[in-house]
Amino acid sequence: MTQDLSAYWMPFTANRQFKKAPRLLTRSQGMYYWDDHGRQILDGVAGLWCVNAGHARPKIVQAIQAQAAELDYAPPFQMAHPKAFELADRLAKLAPAGLGHVFFTNSGSESVETALKIALAYHRARGEGTRTRLLGRERGYHGVNFGGISVGGIVGNRKYFGTLLGGVDHIRHTHDPARNAFSVGQPEHGAELADDLERLVTLHDASTIAAIIVEPVAGSTGVLLPPKGYLQRLREICDRHGILLIFDEVITGFGRTGQPFAAQTFGVTPDLMTLAKGITNGSVPMGAVLVKDTIHDTFMNGPEHLIEFAHGYTYSGHPLACAAGLATLDTYADEGLLTRATELGGHFAAAVHSLKGEPHVIDVRNVGFVGGIELAARPGEPGKRAFDAFLDCYEQGVLVRTTGDVIALSPPLIIESEQIDRIVEAIRTALRRVA
Ligand code: PLP
């Protein structure tokens, strides 16, 4: 039976091309997917940067099954269930000191919207309601909702969507291949790019700026690492001007960079941190915002019977997501996964950097279990060469991801050295074959 694929309008997908040659995944286990032809596919991207403990892990599967039978849903407004508190407590303990409060959402995009709203409401609550401007960074990706695309810096995600994107500004991105190409780990050059925030303070005045949001490592615009000292400098400038620093850790959270969070890897603590993806190992949609205690406490004034923050989702802290989240954190802890990218990071770095010198490769970037292999664009067809390499890898039974002309790797944290080698060899073969 051939399935009718026409009704489903697929997200971020070239629908017409896909439906001519569909790639349908039907099963998953550990490091592997299987497709509808029964072919085994090694997962080099943890699904979509989310299945950090590998697929179909028994503890998580059992927790979801048991939770669905015990308590399927509990309203989160003026009501709750115990696992939401338990998960919030566990997340706060995993986070850098001071980020002791957790607001639950259902995705990375919702976490971003929530963090931006907390920033605005916080300044208002402490009597500085003129701080309404939100800042982001060029090439930033913060999901697809209006707040996120406004502070985001990807033109293709912004240009169609009209005038609601106002009230924001952007500092410049940190990508500098002329000085930093083929850096192993954090690039040496570019800490001074954080000073671009001073330019915006001079332009708008600090009294109008609520917050700046950045990804510690930008994933969706091609694996861009923070230069050494850059995040520290951004932190200092924010402190100097009373601007909240938001780290979007939707992809960097949960062990991706070798520590539970990139804030710990790079030694810089933000005021707010957005999470999603690895929070439930990708098994049930969930996001969260970690909030500094002092920010949270600012809201806890006024009459006790009043709602302190007019925000929330029907599925905030959903019981299935909380059960999955708790079992996920147990799995990470039992297997030491949140620091595994530190232990095996040397092998991963050597493997991805061995692609230097292969056809089309103009840069290789890495941190923890994140790799970016940038290809020269084929003239007149930006992104096509990398996409061809993706298709070639898929034919070889290896799933990678491309963004523009960058091949991005973010394997499950359970990956073994031989599997790292297999992914890199598949890319090498593909690069030697694509035009
Ligand atoms: N923020 C960052 C840094 C992301 O990488 C993503 C997704 O890849 C998001 C936000 C959006 O998350 P979601 O797709 O769950 O809404």
**pLDDT greater than 70 at residue 207:** yes
Residue 8 pLDDT exceeds 90: yes
User: What does DSSP say about strands 398-399 and 40-43: parallel, antiparallel, or unpaired?
Assistant: parallel
Going from the Cα of 306 to the center of ligand 1, the distance in angstroms, rounded, reads 32
CATH 3.40.640.10 residue ranges of the chain are 62-334
Report the atom number in ligand 1 closest to the C-alpha of 49: 8
Sheet strand arrangement including 406-409: 361-367, 370-375, 406-409, 401-403
Q: Is 109 in the pocket of ligand 1 (CB under 6 A)?
A: yes
Domain 62-334: CATH class, spelled out: alpha beta
Range(s) within the chain of domains with CATH label 3.90.1150.10: 15-53+339-433
CATH architecture entry for 15-53+339-433: Alpha-Beta Complex (3.90)
pLDDT tens-digit series, residues 109-168? 999 999 999 999 999 999 999 999 999 999 999 999 999 999 999 999 999 998 888 899
**Mean pLDDT, all residues of the chain:** 97
Q: Which of 109, 215, 401 has most ligand 1 atoms within 8 Å of its beta carbon, as the pocket-test mutant?
A: 109
Q: Which of 197, 196, 208 is nearest to 133 (CA)?
A: 208
> What CA–CA distance (Å, rounded) separates 266 from 268?
6
Integer Cα distance of 42 and 419 in angstroms: 8
Question: Could you identify the atom of ligand 1 that is nearest to the CA of residue 215?
Answer: 3
Q: Decide: 402 in ligand 1 pocket, CB within 6 A.
A: no
How large a percentage of the chain has pLDDT more than 70?
100
Q: Is 141 in the pocket of ligand 1 (CB under 6 A)?
A: yes
The best mutation among 141, 261, 401 to test binding of ligand 1, ranked by most ligand atoms within 8 Å of the C-beta, falls on 141
Do 244 and 238 meet the contact criterion of CB atoms below 8 Å apart? yes
Task: Count Cα atoms within 13 angstroms, Cβ side, for 136.
Answer: 25
Which of 113, 137, 250 gets mutated to test ligand 1 (max ligand atoms within 8 A of its CB)?
250
Q: Is 340 in the pocket of ligand 1 (CB under 6 A)?
A: no
Ligand 1 within 6 A of 252 CB? Answer: no
How far is Cα 371 from Cα 353, in angstroms, rounded to an integer?
A: 9
Please give the pLDDT value at position 1. Answer: 53
Our answer on whether the CB atom of 136 is closer than 6 Å to any ligand 1 atom is no
Each residue's pLDDT tens digit, 43-86: 999 999 999 999 999 999 999 999 999 999 999 999 999 999 99
